[in-house]
Amino acid sequence: MTTVTKHMALLRTAYQAVESGDLDAAVQLLTADFIANLPGSPGPLHGREVWRLGTQAMKDAFPDLTITVEDMFGADDKVTVLVHFEGTHQGAFQQFEATGRRVSFRSIEVYRFDGGRIAEEWVAPDLISLMQQIAPAPQPL
């Protein structure tokens, strides 16, 4: 098994852990000095706890979240993934209270590995699409 294949398998395991709600198992797949690069953040965020808090917020808002890997490829110490998320908006997410609506959105994600663990992520979720799906409908004038 090549190193890239091992990285891809580790990433699939991480997605499965998140989907099942086992964030403790997922956190163990991250390096202690994990780095998250997120849209809208002024700079990289550091540490496993940052990742856990963000992922927990998603699971609280979308407890039935399903994660489908649509494409995955890698080279050297990086793996890129096209991932599709679906779930029901059952808890508050950012400024929006639960709507009970089904949502579907994609993300393009790049991961860097070090020592057999996930060391860094760059994620680009389609937050505009997600927000459009959970935002209240405009009221007629």
pLDDT digits (tens, 9 = 90+) for 25-46: 999 999 999 999 998 889 999 9
Per-residue model confidence (pLDDT) at position 99: 95
Q: Is the pLDDT assigned to residue 138 strictly greater than 90?
A: no
* Domain locations along the chain: 3-134
Q: Which residues contact 40 (CB under 8 A, 6 or more apart)?
A: none
Tens of pLDDT, residues 75-113: 999 999 999 999 999 999 988 999 999 999 999 999 999
Per the structure block, which two tokens stand in for 4?
A: 């890239």
* pTM for the predicted model, two decimal places: 0.92
Give the CATH number of domain 3-134: 3.10.450.50
Per-residue model confidence (pLDDT) at position 136: 85
Residue 38 buriedness (CB in 10 A; 0-12 / 13-18 / 19+): middle
- Residues facing residue 106 across a β-bridge: 84
Per-residue model confidence (pLDDT) at position 87: 98
Query: Please, where are the H alpha helices in 1-141?
Result: 3-20, 23-27, 48-61, 127-134
Per-residue model confidence (pLDDT) at position 1: 81
In this structure, the chain runs to a length of 141
